[in-house]
Amino acid sequence: MKNFLIAGNWKMNKTAKEAVEFAKALKAMKLENEKDVAILVPFTHLFSIADALDGSSIRFGAQNVHYEDSGAYTGEISVKMLKETGVDYCIVGHSERREYFNETDETVNLKLKKLISSGITPILCVGESLETREENLQTEFVESQIIKAFDGIDRVDVNKIVIAYEPIWAIGTGKTATPEEAEEMCRFIREIIQEIYNDSVISEQIMVLYGGSMKPDNAEDLLNKPNINGGLIGGASLKLEDLATIAEIASKI
Ligand code: 13P
């Protein structure tokens, strides 16, 4: 049986009040696989989401973190601050942060190490642009992102990281990678991990998600693929019914 994670990346959407209403409604649905479902919310919502989800196994998390413990970093949030809210997950290296907020392979690597040391599971995002895919350089690009992200990460910690393959051209565009394209890259990501650590147990066990315009009507074909352990879902995760439907689809695979 494959492990699944159906994670909603809300990005900069919903007020705290709307988020709490959503979380309570999601909890009330009593999804049979609720421990495999997570919502990744804006920082200001974390404490109230923790309260709203209390008594359920639904997970929650943040969308970014700083790699230093404390200091003069105006506007930033440390791992210790996140930990206090009870988060399970934190996204690292989302393409929007790489593009608009100067996130680099080096800061991604530092953030992964810091999160692992505090017991928060990072969701590491990788994925190529349309230009890179048109030049057929997507495998080299993703390989480089993975090698740099995992630099200096001990083999015992590899499976504490979730990887999400999110081709930039499929994010928010309504243009999904075909299940075959998504599967091929998720399989390739395992091969890179296998090459780095020379350990087939680690590369088989690591969770690899697909993200990019996943919705109820394309989720089944994507989630059925053997190397895909779930989805990192943007737009569709803002709709309760859509997120719940995708979670239900995963529970039946
Ligand atoms: P969409 O599902 O809206 O394409 O967003 C995907 C994404 O960026 C999740 O992190």
With cut-offs at 50, 70 and 90, classify the pLDDT of residue 176.
Answer: confident
Position 94 pLDDT exceeds 80: yes
With cut-offs at 50, 70 and 90, classify the pLDDT of residue 174.
Answer: confident
Strand boundaries in 145-248, DSSP class E: 162-165, 207-211, 230-233
Q: Indicate yes or no: pTM above 0.85.
A: yes
What residue numbers bound the domain in which 243 lies?
5-251
Longest dimension (CA), the chain: 49
Ligand 1, atom 9: nearest CA belongs to which residue? 234
Of 29 and 175, more confident? 29
Q: Which CATH number fits the domain that encloses residue 244?
A: 3.20.20.70
The helices-and-strands tally (H runs, E runs) of the chain is 11, 8
User: What was the pLDDT predicted at 93?
Assistant: 98
Q: Which of 34, 45, 94, 96 is catalytic?
A: 94
User: What was the pLDDT predicted at 237?
Assistant: 98
Is 45 tagged catalytic? no
User: What was the pLDDT predicted at 37?
Assistant: 98
Tell me, in angstroms, the distance from the centre of ligand 1 to residue 94's CA: 10
* pLDDT tens column, 199-226: 999 999 999 999 999 999 999 999 999 9
Task: Please tell me the total count of domains within the chain.
Answer: 1
Asked whether the beta carbons of 93 and 108 are under 8 A apart, the reply is yes
Nearby residues of 102 by Cβ (< 8 Å), 6 or more positions away? none
Position 1 pLDDT exceeds 80: no
Is 166 tagged catalytic? yes
Task: List residues near ligand 1 (CB under 6 A).
Answer: 9, 94, 166, 171-172, 211-214, 232-236
Instruction: Count other Cβ atoms within 10 Å, centred on residue 182.
Output: 29
